[in-house]
Structure 1
Amino acid sequence: MACSHVHCSHHQEHLINHCSRPAAGHASPLVDTSGTAPGKRCPTCQSKGTEVWVLPGRDCPYCGTYVA
């Protein structure tokens, strides 16, 4: 949210906040509402019985396996 603070030229004790807020009812393009997470389970950790989720194209933080 972008906010700006405007000071009154005559009285500096008056502070007016002008904040732009998204319109209600509109979907944000930054929020994935598909109901699924973008991660994949690490196959090495999964074979050991541990559930670790990794973003595709990254290494698993626990075992270092690359997850495509």
Structure 2
Amino acid sequence: MRNKRYTLAVRQLVAGDTTSDVLAEFLELLDGLDLDVKAVYLDRGFYNSTCLGLLSAHNYAYVMPIVK
């Protein structure tokens, strides 16, 4: 199924969670799937240096609005 977007995971943040913890969990999940992921789409809550570093370390392209 080429050129389609799919939601692969959704998770509610609970007390004590950080966006970087959740992103690390999702990226590990993606790494374990046999899929050709071209980009990860995130909301602006993930715009921080830790999350950007995780995306870079896992070598995923991403689309994310930046916070003004």
Structures share a fold, TM > 0.5?
no
TM range (shorter): under 0.3
> Between Structure 1 and Structure 2, which shows a larger proportion of strand residues?
1
TM-score by length of 1: 0.18
Larger radius of gyration: 1
Q: What TM-score do the two structures reach when normalised by structure 2?
A: 0.18
